[in-house]
Structure 1
Amino acid sequence: MLSQSVYTLINQQNGNLAFKVFEFDNNSYFDHIQRNNYFTLIIITAGEGLATVDFSEYPCRENTLFAFYPYQPFMLQAKGTLMGVAIQFHHDFFCIYRHHKEIAANGILFNNIYQQPFIWLQESSKKTLLNIVSEITGELKTEALRRDEVIVSYLKIFLVLATRIKLEQQSMQEASAVNDKQRFIVQDLRNAIEENFRLKHSASDYADILHLTPNALARITKTHFNKTLSDLITDRIIIEAKRELYLTDKTIKEIAYELGYEDEYYFSRFFKGKTDISPQFYRDTVGFNRQAAN
């Protein structure tokens, strides 16, 4: 395990955080809403509480791994002492989008609006992941040749293993859905959102597509996703907007139009209302080299 220390890498070009790992033995780090411009991975090693993520609530207990993407709001409220280890990294250091084919974490571990933002770890899995964290910490303590590349390699392994676990747990959760009919409805809803979120933004649109009453679809959505249908649609739009802001040089007006908003200022207010920051600020603080990320 780690000592009671914080280990960081700083981006020498802009002085901002590139990578950070630390152990915590109290809840002062995460007991208020976080909106960080970097990815955060948290392994809870002891304690329990309640996690508020995107304004939905989830249990928080020992052997839980949380995964949060940039500017995703989250907070951990502990019942007593909460202990664990955290990894935080910026797109500058490791680009999830660029390495998607290698690690498959985007849309599974991160930016997954259809699944809970955490996984349960068996003791063996937790030990494996914590060993990787210890190896990363060892590298951070040195000034060895190509240290950053070694840390990125360990980070990739961590993300791949965590993604495997989440995929396994998703399959188990889907298999234990309430009944086959609802399982098909849930899958049809996912498909409908993916196909139509750029043009159809209201919950009633999807009730029409699925030939369900709005109330019936709302109940199913809340049961399976712990979110409202409007939240699901909004989250999908915001994730796509962030992807475009990061990966492309399109203007905000172009991005807004492609997502079904003719008024770029309305879109900017919508984006800020959901993320607390403007599209331009997101691009300036998260998108660093969009051409290289393609």
Structure 2
Amino acid sequence: MSEIKIMYAGSDHFACQPLEVLIQAGYIPSVVLTNPDRKSGRGLKLKATSVKQLAEKNNIPTWTPMTIKTDEAFETFKAYDIDLFICVAYGKIIPSQWFEVCTALNIHPSLLPKWRGCSPVEHTILNRDQIAGVSIIQMSAEIDAGDLLYQKQIPVKENDHTLSLGQRLFEGGADLLIEAICAWEKDQLPERIVQNSEKVTYAPKIAKHAGHIDWNMPAEQIDAMVRAYYDWPHAYADVESGILKIFKTKYLLGEHQQPVGTIIDINSDGLWVRCQNGSICIVEAQLPGKKRMQMVDILRGNQKKFQKGMQI
């Protein structure tokens, strides 16, 4: 077991994979910084982040402040007397003064300087990038702008959504993180590379309403939307019974006579809807108050709500 004093900061479920790899490699954090418990579910019971649950399972102390911007939080941070701070999808901006206390590394799921910001995986899919990647950077005052230490390219699969691609990106990031810590222990970190400011692109926070489907868009873009918003906020269409959340689609390109948004076919694949340059098949979806299901199963119980020629 390593004697390095590590603070691991993470809240999103994607942050669990690197933490598990750290533990397995013997780099057990002295403390895990994560978001406070939140009320969740119909009973509004307090629920810990998945990162906190993993830490507690491994008997690792946790620190869950409401804010880390205060002088009190900084004093607490210094009191932990850590050697290495590792940030993975924590969800809050880390005060720059923390970086003066110890070495601070961040796993970012993009090939920086591309897709700086809080939603790089979603924007990778929305942009229909064929190559994604993960970066290990030395943290800096400017968000996601720190010097590059390690990068790894990861191909995007045709049907990737945020969860499948994100999982592979953070698995790759976990491997790079172990490599970085081993090098740091020996004072052999690679020469830092300054990010090219002329190649910066941004992945801003995604709004809840961003998932609303405009059938005037190209089929490829609608399909990308469904995959990009798979975890949240979900792609959706307005239907008679409310909002139809859409989780899986496929598409065909080609001309149709019907107006966009028209149901042009219902078959064993699902519900086909006319869009700008072809048709989208809704394969998997969810009606309000119902479970997520295959669209063909939804159609069996809702034949009057979804008929050929209707607008959606």
Q: TM-score, normalised by structure 2?
A: 0.25
* Larger helix share, 1 or 2: 1
Q: TM-score, normalised by structure 1?
A: 0.27
Higher relative contact order (CA 8 A, sep 6+): 1
* Larger strand share, 1 or 2: 2
